[in-house]
Amino acid sequence: MSLLHKLLIGSAAAGVATSPLFAQETAGGPECLLELSVDNNVDWRGQLGRGYEVFSGEESYEVVSVVVRHQGQACDYFLTGMPQEGGNENLLTGPYGALAYDVLRQPSGPSLLSPDYAGNELTRLYGRFPDGAGAQQYVLYVAIPPEQNVGGGIYSDQVQLRVFADHFGSPELMDQASFAITAPVADTLEVDSIDAGPGANTLKIDLGNLAPGVVRVLDFSLRSNAPIRVGANSQNKGFLAHQASAPGIPYSLVVGGNRIDLSSNRLTQAIAGDLSNRTIVPFRIEVEPNYGAAAGTYSDVLTITFQVDG
| Chain Cα centroid distance, residue 158 | 20
pLDDT on residue 19:
40
Q: What percent of the chain has pLDDT over 70?
A: 89
Distances (CA, A) of 43 to 155, 156, 172: 10, 9, 32
* Local confidence band at 14 (pLDDT 50, 70, 90 cut-offs): very low
Least confident of 13-22, 52-61, 137-146: 13-22
Is residue 23's pLDDT more than 60?
no
pLDDT of 100 reads 96
**What confidence score (pLDDT) does residue 88 get?**
81
Asked if residue 125 lies in contact with residue 79, where contact means CB atoms within 8 angstroms, the answer is yes
Q: What is the pLDDT of residue 265?
A: 62
Q: Is the pLDDT of residue 27 over 60?
A: no
Residue type, 154: I
pLDDT of 293 higher than 50: yes
CB 307 within 8 A of CB 1: yes
Range picked from 7-11, 86-90, 130-134, 233-237 for highest mean pLDDT:
130-134
User: Which are the contacts of 41, defined by CB distance < 8 A and separation ≥ 6?
Assistant: 15, 16, 179, 180, 181, 182
Longest alpha-carbon distance in the chain: 110
- What is the per-residue pLDDT for 310? 64
Strand partners, 2: 307
Question: Which tens digit of pLDDT belongs to each residue from 156-215?
Answer: 999 999 999 998 878 999 999 999 999 999 999 999 998 888 778 899 999 999 999 999
Range in 97-106, 184-193, 252-261, 288-297 with the lowest mean pLDDT: 252-261
Q: Report residue 275's pLDDT band, with 50, 70 and 90 as the boundaries.
A: confident
Question: Which of 14-28, 83-97, 168-182 holds the top average pLDDT?
Answer: 168-182
For residue 12, the model assigns a pLDDT of 46
pLDDT at 24: 42
- Residue 165 makes CB contacts below 8 A (sequence gap 6+) with 24, 32, 34, 75, 76, 77, 171, 172, 174
Q: Output the pTM of the full model.
A: 0.80
d(CA 65, CA 60): 17
CB 16 within 8 A of CB 36: no
pLDDT score, position 277: 87
Phi, psi dihedrals of residue 147, rounded to the nearest 5°: 60, 40
Strands 42-43 and 170-185 come out as: parallel
Please report the pLDDT score of residue 216 as a whole number: 96
Q: What domains can you pick out in the chain, each with its CATH number?
A: 17-185 (2.60.40.2040), 188-308 (2.60.40.1090)
pLDDT of residue 15: 37
- Ramachandran quadrant class, 105 (left: phi over 0; alpha: psi -120 to 50; beta: rest): alpha
d(CA 124, CA 130): 20
Confidence (pLDDT) at 85: 76
